[in-house]
Amino acid sequence: MSTVQVTIESVSVPTFVLGILSAVFLFGMFIVGYDQGHLFNVVVGEQAFDDLYLHELYHDLRHVSGFPCH
């Protein structure tokens, strides 16, 4: 007579974690879409692609921090 032991492991992700990750994902998509001009080019046209406010902000922060870049 033989005995077989079966282990069933159940792993689940809590719902609030999925909510937090979804919010981070959507916020990231908004930031990238905003910075690259893809969100507001429908409203303001080609100017949205030239207004790289976040890009310039982080570029200036890099200069203020003392890191040379160009």
List the interface residues with Zn ion, window 10-69 (CB under 5 A): 69
Closer to Zn ion by Cβ: residue 6 or 69? 69
At closest approach, how far in Å is the CB of 26 from Zn ion? Answer: 30
The residue among 50, 49, 55 whose CA lies nearest residue 37 is 49
At closest approach, how far in Å is the CB of 48 from Zn ion? Answer: 22
Closer to Zn ion by Cβ: residue 30 or 58? 58
35, 54 Cβ separation under 8 angstroms: yes
How far, in Å, are 33, 49, 64 from residue 28 at the CA level?
8, 18, 24
Binding interface with Zn ion (CB under 5 A)? 69-70
